[in-house]
Amino acid sequence: MSFCEIESGLRRLLEEVPRNYIFRLNNCFHIPVYSGWKAQQHENPNLHILYVWSGEGQYRMEDGVTIPLRQGSLVFVSNGVKHYAEVSPDNPLTVTGMRFWVYDYNNVNRTNHFVKPFYTYNLYNDHFNSEVISRIHYLFHNKKDNISQSMCSTYISYILFSLYQKLTDKNAEKDLDKRAKEARRIIENNGFKKIDISQVANQVGTSQRNLQKLFKTAYGFTPNEYHMSIKMNMIYSMLNSDKIPVSEAAEYMGYSDQFAFSKQFKKYFGISPAKVKSEHPPVWF
Protein backbone atom coordinates (compact mmCIF):
# COMPACT_ATOMS: atom_id res chain seq x y z
CA MET A 1 0.00 0.00 0.00
CA SER A 2 1.61 3.25 -1.14
CA PHE A 3 1.95 6.46 0.87
CA CYS A 4 -0.22 8.28 -1.70
CA GLU A 5 -3.08 5.76 -1.39
CA ILE A 6 -3.09 5.95 2.40
CA GLU A 7 -2.66 9.72 2.53
CA SER A 8 -5.47 10.22 0.00
CA GLY A 9 -7.87 7.98 1.93
CA LEU A 10 -7.20 9.60 5.30
CA ARG A 11 -7.34 13.09 3.82
CA ARG A 12 -10.76 12.46 2.26
CA LEU A 13 -12.16 11.12 5.53
CA LEU A 14 -10.78 14.04 7.52
CA GLU A 15 -11.89 16.69 5.01
CA GLU A 16 -15.45 15.39 4.53
CA VAL A 17 -16.15 14.61 8.21
CA PRO A 18 -17.48 16.72 9.88
CA ARG A 19 -17.87 19.22 7.03
CA ASN A 20 -20.43 17.18 5.09
CA TYR A 21 -20.82 13.84 6.88
CA ILE A 22 -20.65 12.13 10.26
CA PHE A 23 -19.11 8.87 11.45
CA ARG A 24 -21.67 6.54 12.97
CA LEU A 25 -20.61 3.57 15.09
CA ASN A 26 -22.18 0.23 14.24
CA ASN A 27 -20.41 -1.62 17.04
CA CYS A 28 -17.71 -1.13 19.65
CA PHE A 29 -16.38 -4.09 21.64
CA HIS A 30 -13.71 -4.72 24.27
CA ILE A 31 -12.70 -8.39 24.35
CA PRO A 32 -10.00 -10.87 25.30
CA VAL A 33 -9.32 -12.52 21.95
CA TYR A 34 -10.24 -16.19 21.63
CA SER A 35 -8.28 -18.87 19.78
CA GLY A 36 -8.96 -18.67 16.05
CA TRP A 37 -10.08 -15.01 16.14
CA LYS A 38 -10.12 -13.68 12.56
CA ALA A 39 -8.05 -16.68 11.47
CA GLN A 40 -9.66 -16.79 8.02
CA GLN A 41 -8.95 -14.15 5.41
CA HIS A 42 -11.90 -11.78 5.11
CA GLU A 43 -13.02 -8.26 4.19
CA ASN A 44 -14.78 -5.92 6.59
CA PRO A 45 -18.13 -4.59 5.30
CA ASN A 46 -17.41 -1.25 6.99
CA LEU A 47 -14.59 0.87 8.38
CA HIS A 48 -12.70 -0.66 11.29
CA ILE A 49 -10.34 0.54 14.05
CA LEU A 50 -8.51 -1.84 16.38
CA TYR A 51 -6.61 -0.85 19.54
CA VAL A 52 -4.49 -3.39 21.45
CA TRP A 53 -4.35 -3.23 25.25
CA SER A 54 -2.17 -6.27 25.83
CA GLY A 55 -0.92 -9.51 24.30
CA GLU A 56 0.84 -10.36 21.06
CA GLY A 57 -0.31 -11.13 17.54
CA GLN A 58 -0.32 -9.76 14.02
CA TYR A 59 -2.53 -8.78 11.11
CA ARG A 60 -1.59 -10.32 7.77
CA MET A 61 -2.67 -8.00 4.95
CA GLU A 62 -3.45 -9.07 1.39
CA ASP A 63 -0.45 -7.17 -0.02
CA GLY A 64 1.97 -9.18 2.14
CA VAL A 65 2.46 -6.60 4.91
CA THR A 66 2.50 -7.87 8.50
CA ILE A 67 1.23 -5.46 11.17
CA PRO A 68 2.47 -6.30 14.70
CA LEU A 69 -0.31 -6.33 17.29
CA ARG A 70 1.06 -5.45 20.73
CA GLN A 71 0.26 -3.04 23.55
CA GLY A 72 -0.54 0.35 22.03
CA SER A 73 -0.93 -0.82 18.41
CA LEU A 74 -3.58 1.22 16.59
CA VAL A 75 -4.84 -0.10 13.24
CA PHE A 76 -7.34 1.29 10.74
CA VAL A 77 -8.70 -0.97 7.98
CA SER A 78 -11.29 0.21 5.46
CA ASN A 79 -13.87 -1.96 3.80
CA GLY A 80 -12.59 -4.01 0.87
CA VAL A 81 -9.19 -4.90 2.37
CA LYS A 82 -8.55 -8.63 2.76
CA HIS A 83 -6.68 -9.62 5.93
CA TYR A 84 -6.53 -12.18 8.73
CA ALA A 85 -5.12 -12.35 12.25
CA GLU A 86 -2.61 -14.54 14.06
CA VAL A 87 -2.60 -14.56 17.87
CA SER A 88 0.08 -15.80 20.27
CA PRO A 89 -1.39 -18.73 22.27
CA ASP A 90 0.98 -17.91 25.15
CA ASN A 91 0.12 -14.21 25.28
CA PRO A 92 -3.41 -13.71 23.87
CA LEU A 93 -4.63 -10.28 22.86
CA THR A 94 -7.05 -7.99 24.64
CA VAL A 95 -8.42 -5.44 22.19
CA THR A 96 -11.00 -2.74 21.66
CA GLY A 97 -12.49 -2.76 18.19
CA MET A 98 -14.98 -0.48 16.53
CA ARG A 99 -16.87 -0.70 13.27
CA PHE A 100 -18.34 2.44 11.75
CA TRP A 101 -19.43 4.06 8.52
CA VAL A 102 -19.98 7.46 6.94
CA TYR A 103 -23.53 8.87 7.00
CA ASP A 104 -25.15 12.11 6.01
CA TYR A 105 -26.20 14.46 8.79
CA ASN A 106 -29.72 13.06 8.84
CA ASN A 107 -28.09 9.81 10.00
CA VAL A 108 -30.13 7.96 7.38
CA ASN A 109 -28.22 7.57 4.14
CA ARG A 110 -25.03 5.57 4.34
CA THR A 111 -22.40 6.67 1.83
CA ASN A 112 -21.05 3.51 0.18
CA HIS A 113 -17.60 3.36 -1.44
CA PHE A 114 -16.63 6.56 0.37
CA VAL A 115 -12.91 5.83 0.00
CA LYS A 116 -10.84 3.40 -2.01
CA PRO A 117 -9.75 0.40 0.09
CA PHE A 118 -6.71 1.16 2.28
CA TYR A 119 -5.26 0.51 5.71
CA THR A 120 -2.78 2.21 8.01
CA TYR A 121 -1.41 1.75 11.51
CA ASN A 122 0.67 3.24 14.32
CA LEU A 123 2.74 1.08 16.67
CA TYR A 124 3.79 3.90 19.00
CA ASN A 125 2.12 3.45 22.39
CA ASP A 126 0.46 6.85 22.89
CA HIS A 127 -1.63 7.13 26.08
CA PHE A 128 -3.89 9.72 24.42
CA ASN A 129 -5.12 7.02 22.03
CA SER A 130 -6.07 4.74 24.92
CA GLU A 131 -7.99 7.62 26.53
CA VAL A 132 -9.94 8.36 23.35
CA ILE A 133 -10.69 4.69 22.65
CA SER A 134 -12.00 4.27 26.20
CA ARG A 135 -14.28 7.29 25.87
CA ILE A 136 -15.72 6.08 22.57
CA HIS A 137 -16.49 2.68 24.11
CA TYR A 138 -18.12 4.30 27.13
CA LEU A 139 -20.29 6.66 25.08
CA PHE A 140 -21.38 3.93 22.67
CA HIS A 141 -22.58 1.62 25.44
CA ASN A 142 -23.93 4.17 27.92
CA LYS A 143 -25.17 7.19 25.96
CA LYS A 144 -27.58 7.05 23.03
CA ASP A 145 -28.34 10.75 22.51
CA ASN A 146 -27.34 12.77 19.43
CA ILE A 147 -24.67 14.75 21.28
CA SER A 148 -22.91 11.56 22.34
CA GLN A 149 -23.06 10.25 18.78
CA SER A 150 -21.50 13.50 17.58
CA MET A 151 -18.76 13.18 20.21
CA CYS A 152 -18.00 9.63 19.04
CA SER A 153 -17.65 10.97 15.50
CA THR A 154 -15.28 13.68 16.75
CA TYR A 155 -13.18 11.14 18.66
CA ILE A 156 -12.93 8.92 15.58
CA SER A 157 -11.74 11.94 13.59
CA TYR A 158 -9.10 12.53 16.26
CA ILE A 159 -7.84 8.94 15.91
CA LEU A 160 -7.73 9.22 12.12
CA PHE A 161 -5.90 12.54 12.41
CA SER A 162 -3.31 10.97 14.72
CA LEU A 163 -2.75 8.27 12.09
CA TYR A 164 -2.52 10.92 9.36
CA GLN A 165 -0.03 12.94 11.38
CA LYS A 166 2.10 9.86 12.05
CA LEU A 167 2.00 8.96 8.36
CA THR A 168 3.11 12.39 7.16
CA ASP A 169 5.78 12.62 9.86
CA LYS A 170 7.10 9.23 8.76
CA ASN A 171 7.19 10.36 5.12
CA ALA A 172 9.12 13.49 6.10
CA GLU A 173 11.51 11.26 8.06
CA LYS A 174 12.85 9.82 4.79
CA ASP A 175 15.14 12.85 4.52
CA LEU A 176 16.55 12.39 8.04
CA ASP A 177 19.97 10.92 8.81
CA LYS A 178 19.74 7.12 8.62
CA ARG A 179 21.75 6.74 11.85
CA ALA A 180 19.20 8.81 13.78
CA LYS A 181 16.34 6.77 12.28
CA GLU A 182 18.02 3.47 13.16
CA ALA A 183 18.72 4.67 16.70
CA ARG A 184 15.05 5.59 17.07
CA ARG A 185 14.02 2.10 15.91
CA ILE A 186 16.37 0.48 18.43
CA ILE A 187 15.03 2.64 21.26
CA GLU A 188 11.40 1.90 20.35
CA ASN A 189 12.06 -1.85 20.27
CA ASN A 190 13.56 -1.87 23.76
CA GLY A 191 10.55 -0.54 25.67
CA PHE A 192 11.24 -0.77 29.40
CA LYS A 193 14.71 -2.27 28.96
CA LYS A 194 17.66 -0.21 30.11
CA ILE A 195 19.46 1.35 27.14
CA ASP A 196 23.12 2.37 26.95
CA ILE A 197 23.20 5.19 24.40
CA SER A 198 26.91 4.60 23.76
CA GLN A 199 26.06 1.03 22.66
CA VAL A 200 23.25 2.32 20.46
CA ALA A 201 25.74 4.73 18.89
CA ASN A 202 28.12 1.82 18.19
CA GLN A 203 25.28 -0.15 16.59
CA VAL A 204 24.46 2.66 14.17
CA GLY A 205 28.10 3.42 13.41
CA THR A 206 28.82 6.74 15.09
CA SER A 207 30.02 8.23 18.36
CA GLN A 208 27.71 8.88 21.30
CA ARG A 209 28.30 12.61 21.05
CA ASN A 210 27.50 12.68 17.34
CA LEU A 211 24.39 10.53 17.82
CA GLN A 212 23.12 12.95 20.45
CA LYS A 213 23.55 15.78 17.96
CA LEU A 214 22.00 13.88 15.02
CA PHE A 215 19.03 12.73 17.09
CA LYS A 216 18.37 16.19 18.53
CA THR A 217 18.50 17.71 15.03
CA ALA A 218 16.14 15.08 13.61
CA TYR A 219 13.54 14.84 16.37
CA GLY A 220 13.99 17.82 18.68
CA PHE A 221 15.00 15.82 21.76
CA THR A 222 17.81 13.53 22.92
CA PRO A 223 17.78 9.70 22.70
CA ASN A 224 17.34 9.46 26.49
CA GLU A 225 14.42 11.91 26.44
CA TYR A 226 12.77 9.89 23.67
CA HIS A 227 13.23 6.63 25.57
CA MET A 228 11.71 8.22 28.67
CA SER A 229 8.72 9.38 26.60
CA ILE A 230 8.14 5.83 25.34
CA LYS A 231 8.35 4.33 28.83
CA MET A 232 6.09 6.99 30.32
CA ASN A 233 3.41 6.46 27.67
CA MET A 234 3.58 2.68 28.12
CA ILE A 235 3.25 2.91 31.89
CA TYR A 236 0.38 5.41 31.59
CA SER A 237 -1.54 2.93 29.41
CA MET A 238 -0.89 0.11 31.88
CA LEU A 239 -2.13 2.22 34.80
CA ASN A 240 -5.08 3.50 32.76
CA SER A 241 -6.24 -0.05 31.98
CA ASP A 242 -5.74 -1.01 35.66
CA LYS A 243 -3.29 -3.77 34.77
CA ILE A 244 -0.73 -2.90 37.50
CA PRO A 245 -0.58 -1.09 40.86
CA VAL A 246 1.46 2.09 41.23
CA SER A 247 4.18 0.25 43.16
CA GLU A 248 4.72 -2.15 40.26
CA ALA A 249 4.68 0.75 37.79
CA ALA A 250 7.54 2.31 39.74
CA GLU A 251 9.52 -0.93 39.45
CA TYR A 252 8.92 -1.08 35.68
CA MET A 253 10.34 2.43 35.40
CA GLY A 254 13.41 1.51 37.46
CA TYR A 255 12.45 3.38 40.63
CA SER A 256 13.03 1.80 44.05
CA ASP A 257 11.14 4.72 45.63
CA GLN A 258 7.45 4.88 44.69
CA PHE A 259 7.23 8.50 45.85
CA ALA A 260 10.07 9.54 43.53
CA PHE A 261 8.33 7.79 40.62
CA SER A 262 4.99 9.46 41.41
CA LYS A 263 6.69 12.85 41.55
CA GLN A 264 8.36 12.32 38.16
CA PHE A 265 5.12 10.96 36.63
CA LYS A 266 3.12 13.99 37.80
CA LYS A 267 5.80 16.34 36.48
CA TYR A 268 5.59 14.62 33.09
CA PHE A 269 1.78 14.31 32.72
CA GLY A 270 0.41 16.85 35.19
CA ILE A 271 -1.49 14.11 37.03
CA SER A 272 -0.39 11.56 39.62
CA PRO A 273 -0.31 7.83 38.76
CA ALA A 274 -2.76 7.13 41.59
CA LYS A 275 -5.21 9.62 40.09
CA VAL A 276 -4.88 8.00 36.65
CA LYS A 277 -6.04 4.72 38.21
CA SER A 278 -8.84 6.28 40.29
CA GLU A 279 -10.25 8.54 37.57
CA HIS A 280 -9.95 6.12 34.66
CA PRO A 281 -11.00 2.71 36.01
CA PRO A 282 -11.73 -0.24 33.71
CA VAL A 283 -15.48 0.06 34.39
CA TRP A 284 -15.58 1.93 31.06
CA PHE A 285 -15.34 -1.53 29.55
- pLDDT tens sequence across 94-133: 999 999 999 887 766 677 667 889 999 998 777 788 889 9
Contact 114, 104 (CB under 8 A): no
Query: Model pTM?
Result: 0.69
- CATH number given to 3-172: 2.60.120.10
* 128-153 pLDDT per residue, tens: 888 899 899 999 998 888 888 889 99
* 23-79 pLDDT per residue, tens: 999 999 988 888 788 999 999 889 999 999 988 999 999 999 999 999 889 999 999
Q: Rounded mean pLDDT of 232-261?
A: 86
How is the chain split into domains, by residue range?
Answer: 3-172, 176-284
Question: With 50 as the cut, is the pLDDT of residue 211 above it?
Answer: yes
Instruction: Give the model's pLDDT for residue 107.
Output: 62
Question: With 50 as the cut, is the pLDDT of residue 282 above it?
Answer: no
Q: Which helix (H) or strand (E) holds 188?
A: helix 178-190
What's the farthest any 2 CA atoms get from each other in the chain? 61
Q: How far apart are CA 66 and CA 85, in angstroms?
A: 10
Strands 119-122 and 74-77 come out as antiparallel
Question: With 80 as the cut, is the pLDDT of residue 170 above it?
Answer: no
Average predicted confidence (pLDDT) for the chain: 87
Q: How far apart are CA 203 and CA 280, in angstroms?
A: 40
User: What pLDDT band is residue 285 in, cutting at 50, 70 and 90?
Assistant: very low
Instruction: Give the model's pLDDT for residue 100.
Output: 94
Topology, domain 176-284: Arc Repressor Mutant, subunit A (1.10.10)
Instruction: Give the model's pLDDT for residue 67.
Output: 95
Instruction: Give the model's pLDDT for residue 17.
Output: 87
Selection from 65, 61, 69 nearest residue 97 by Cα:
69
**CB neighbourhood size of 29 (10 A):** 13
Q: How far apart are CA 217 and CA 177, in angstroms?
A: 9
Instruction: Give the model's pLDDT for residue 108.
Output: 64
Percent of the chain at pLDDT > 90 equals 44
